[in-house]
Amino acid sequence: MSQAKANLDGLKVLLGVSGGIAAYKAVDLASRLSSAGAKVRTVMTEAACELVGPKSFEAVTASAVYRNLWSSNQEYKISHISLVEWADVVVVAPATANIISKIANGICDDLLSTVLCVCWAKPALLAAAMNDNMWTNPAVQRNVKTVKRMGFELIGPVKGRLACGVEAMGRMSEPEDILGRIEKIASEVKKG
């Protein structure tokens, strides 16, 4: 991890967590990012909060969790603007079919989708995770192609055991693999 520490020291990562069962892995990713020297702020969707608690992210990042478009953790700051201005890179883990579809279609109905759809002009990584029936759905595949054309990078999904109990494509990449991809993005950010 010493190489990761050197590569991520001071990198400001905005971690988006959407409502997929793989949200529990995002806590591990947030912890790894913090351990590698990154500064992490987390934005969670309402659905993500049903699966894992914001306090877990606050504990591993020593930073407040942002959950609502209409409230701000900093008085008089517009959160979706200030978060984008603060961050060097955004990572969404898990990136569900829902959030990918919102990005592809410009739907901004919560804090995370607003940040991604309207305000984002920096490196962005989506760690795709969903049931294999969703992943292979033609509408989802069209949306994946659209977000890639928009400049979003994707990692995964990978084949493995899904929440429904089957072995199939749809599992979120492991936090260590996502961290490796973030290291590559960080090296590009530092060059630019």
Q: What is the pLDDT of residue 76?
A: 46
Question: Does residue 49 have an active-site annotation?
Answer: no
Strand partners, 158: 171
Q: Provide the phi-psi class of 159: left if phi over 0, else alpha when psi is between -120 and 50, else beta.
A: beta
Q: Can you tell me whether residue 45 is helix, strand or coil?
A: coil
Q: Lowest mean pLDDT of 114-118, 133-137, 182-186, name the range.
A: 114-118
What CATH code would you report for 2-191?
3.40.50.1950
How do the domains of the chain map onto residue ranges? 2-191
For residues 155-166, average pLDDT? 93
- The model's pTM: 0.92
Statement: residue 24 has pLDDT above 70: yes
Q: What's the pLDDT band for 71 if we cut at 50, 70, 90?
A: low
Sign of CA dihedral 49, 91, 2, 58: negative
Burial class (CB in 10 A: 0-12, 13-18, 19+), 37: middle
Q: What is the pLDDT of residue 100?
A: 98
For residues 160-164, average pLDDT? 90
Question: Mean pLDDT over all residues of the chain?
Answer: 90
- Give the Cα separation of 161 and 192 in Å (integer): 39
Strand partners, 159: 169
Catalytic entry in 49, 108, 117, 164: 164
